[in-house]
Every structure is written in C-alpha cells, then in structure tokens.
Amino acid sequence: MRAFMGIAPDAGQLMTMLLKLVNPKNAIEIGVFTGYSLLLTALTIPDYGKITAIDKNRKAYEIGLPIIKKAGVEHKIDFTESPALPILDKLLENVDIQDIEFILFLSKFQALEIGSCASCCGLQPEKEGSFDFAFVDADKNNYWNYHKRLMKLVKIGGMVIYDNTLWGGSVALREEDVPEAKREWRQCAIEFNKLISADPRVEMSQVPLGDGITICRRVC
Ligand SMILES: C[S@@+](CC[C@H](N)C(=O)[O-])C[C@H]1O[C@@H](n2cnc3c(N)ncnc32)[C@H](O)[C@@H]1O
C-alpha cells in the first residue's frame, strides 16, 4: 500500500528519466503537497534551473521543506501558496505584479507611460512559451483548465505530465462499480483523457504506471 499521497515511485522514476532527457531550465509544478515530485524535479534540473511550484496549501509543503533544504535544492524552487488557476493567468499577463509595482514607481519620476516603460525595460512579453516542463498533480476537475493555460506557457517542444489520469483504474470500470467517492474525479479523468487525445497541439502517451500518467509534448 502506498504510504503517501503523491506520484507513485515507478511513475516518478519515469518522470526523472524524462526530466534528464528534456533537461528543463524552467519548470512549473501544479500540486506540490509535501514535495515528493517537486524534489525529484529539483534534484534533476540544472543548478541554475527554476521551478514555479504552486499549491493552495503551504503547510504540506513546509512538512517536506527540511528534506528539500537538506538536498540543497531549495534555491531552485519558487513556491506560491494559492489556487493554481489565478497564478497561471497572472503568468500569462505580460507583466507580473512586481514589475507593475516597479513601473508605477518609475513612472512617478520619469513621466513614463506604463506601456512604453514596460517595453523599454524589456519586461514583455514574458512568460508565454518560457517553460520547458510542467507537472500537474492537483484538482482533477481543473486539468483541462490547466492544460489550456499550459499550452501557452510551455514552449513548443516542451513537455507536460499529468498524474492520476487512470484514477486508480476506475476510468475503465462501469460507473456503478466505482465507489461513490471516486466517481466525480473518474468522470473528470475520462473527459480530460478524451479531450487531450484529440488535441492537435500535443503528441501524447498515456502510461499505465502508478495511477496513470499522461505525457504530452507540445507540437504547435
Ligand atoms: C496529490 S497532491 C500532490 C502530490 C505531489 N505532486 C507529489 O507527487 O508529491 C495534490 C495537491 O494539490 C493541491 N491542490 C488541490 N487543488 C488545488 C488548486 N486548485 N490549486 C493549487 N493546488 C491545489 C493540494 O493542496 C495537494 O497538496
């Protein structure tokens, strides 16, 4: 029996190998929990690499943080406690909050318009196509919403991995044979699997490891 909630070790092993092949410099993780998959990514990417890690619960992240520190990879992680969708939307805006504050500060002294300052400072466009790897392991009812945003944030040729896409194998069962508590996210997984397999922006492979992982490569 698995003693924790997170990517299964065999799926994690595959993810580590893929990370080594992709060698991402800029990664994003949605759904951190205590940081098992985050640690795998942080240990694998180069020392100058960065992971934008988002979870709505910081407490769980703090449980695993001493291990991340002990592994000497904390400097690669930029953790944000928040529901993920608004953060992805913010990343898709050309200028982030700190930049806007900086521009407003400058404009007081230099009579600059926000738009002209943003372009002269080279602050936009920023995050579109700037990630080479994303791992999604959060609320299953939002996977398609995450995918739509990641198809802009992850560069063409970049990789996105979704965990739990077989939802304990329940996607292959009749609904009445699935425990009530698992039905809603089973339905989400089924819908997501249909949508992603028909999405021309990605090449994808669903791997029956752990709870099922879907590996995508953005092609356009
Ligand atoms: C299965 S755990 C992640 C496990 C982690 N990836 C690992 O392998 O160790 C799911 C996490 O998603 C987070 N989560 C759920 N809904 C979320 C949302 N809307 N935005 C951000 N995080 C969310 C939960 O707080 C939880 O920590």
CA distance 160 to 14: 13
Q: Which residues contact 120 (CB under 8 A, 6 or more apart)?
A: 112
For residue 6, the model assigns a pLDDT of 87
Residue 31 CB–ligand 1 contact under 6 Å: yes
Q: Pick from 47, 98, 56: which is nearest to 74 by CA?
A: 47
Query: 1, 3, 22: which is closest to 135 by C-alpha?
Result: 22
Dihedral, CA of residue 44, residue 39, residue 70 and residue 47, to nearest 10: 30
Does ligand 1 lie within 6 Å of residue 191's CB atom? no
Instruction: State the Cα–Cα distance between residues 83 and 145, nearest whole angstrom.
Output: 12
Q: How far is the CA of 138 from the centre of ligand 1 (A)?
A: 4
33 close to ligand 1 (CB < 6 Angstrom): yes
Instruction: Tell whether domain 9-94+127-218 is in CATH 3.40.50.800.
Output: no
What is the pLDDT, as a whole number, of residue 97? 47
- Which atom of ligand 1 lies closest to the CA of 5? 1
Pocket lining: 114 vs ligand 1, CB cutoff 6 Å: no
| Separation of alpha carbons 35 and 65, rounded Å | 8
> For position 126, what pLDDT does the model report?
76
Contact 3, 24 (CB under 8 A): no
Question: Tell me, what's the pLDDT at 121?
Answer: 45
- Given this model, what pLDDT does residue 159 score? 98
Q: Enter the DSSP assignment of 8.
A: -
pLDDT at 118: 44
Q: What confidence score (pLDDT) does residue 119 get?
A: 44
Find out whether the beta carbon of 6 lies less than 6 Å from any atom of ligand 1.
yes
Could you tell me the two tokens for 106? 């400058």
Strand segments (E) across 33-153: 50-55, 77-81, 131-136
Which parts of the chain have pLDDT scores under 50? 1-3, 97, 100, 113-124
The protein residue whose alpha carbon is closest to atom 22 in ligand 1 is 55
Give the whole-angstrom CA distance, residue 34 versus residue 161. 18
Tell me, in angstroms, the distance from the centre of ligand 1 to residue 55's CA.
Answer: 6
Q: If 0-12 CB within 10 Å is exposed, 13-18 middle and 19+ buried, where does residue 20 land? A: exposed
What is the C-alpha radius of gyration for the chain, rounded to an integer number of angstroms? 19
- Ligand 1 contacts CB of residue 56 (under 6 A): yes
pLDDT of residue 94: 64
Q: Which amino acid appears at position 182 of this protein?
A: K
Q: Is 63 in the pocket of ligand 1 (CB under 6 A)?
A: no
Ligand 1 closest atom vs CA 12: 8
Predicted confidence at residue 120, as pLDDT, reads 43
Q: Residue 99's pLDDT is what?
A: 61
* Residue 12 Cβ < 6 Å to ligand 1: no
Nearest protein Cα to ligand 1, atom 6:
32
Residue 32 makes CB contacts below 8 A (sequence gap 6+) with 38, 53, 54, 55, 60, 61, 79
